Amino acid sequence: MIEQNKDQDSDQAWRTRRRRAGITAFLSGLVATLAFFAFFPGLPHVIDWGAILVSLAVGGLAQWCCQSWISRSAKAKAEHM
């Protein structure tokens, strides 16, 4: 019973850590892309709907990459043990 409880706590902590990392990656990708469109020399310094949509797509891609990397490393760690 105690071992099952410990496994559930560990699994919940892993899911929480994975979700927080995904949120951080999404926000980082979003802000970095918006900053690129806002401050890169030579671009019109206007944030339009295209830049917002691209920023959301880059943020989603960053989130997906981060979460898959965390899942892959956890799986490799579990197989190694």
Q: Is residue 6 part of a domain?
A: no
Query: In total, how many domains does the chain have?
Result: 1
Residues whose CB is less than 8 angstroms from the CB of residue 14 and which lie 6 or more positions away in sequence, other chains included: 74
Q: Is residue 68 part of a domain?
A: yes
Domain that holds residue 67: 49-76
Q: Is residue 72 part of a domain?
A: yes
Q: Is residue 64 part of a domain?
A: yes
Cα–Cα distance measured from residue 41 to residue 8, given in angstroms and rounded to the nearest whole number: 51
Cα–Cα distance measured from residue 54 to residue 33, given in angstroms and rounded to the nearest whole number: 8
Q: Is residue 41 part of a domain?
A: no
Q: Is residue 58 part of a domain?
A: yes
Task: Report pLDDT digits (tens) over 31-40.
Answer: 999 998 888 7
Task: Report pLDDT digits (tens) over 7-65.
Answer: 667 788 888 999 999 999 999 999 999 998 888 767 666 678 888 999 999 999 999 99
Q: Is residue 18 part of a domain?
A: no
Query: Which residue, 15, 4, 26, 8, is CA-closest to 74?
Result: 15
Examine the pLDDT at 2 and tell me if it is beyond 60. no
How far is the first Cα of the chain from the last one, in angstroms, to the nearest whole number? Answer: 23
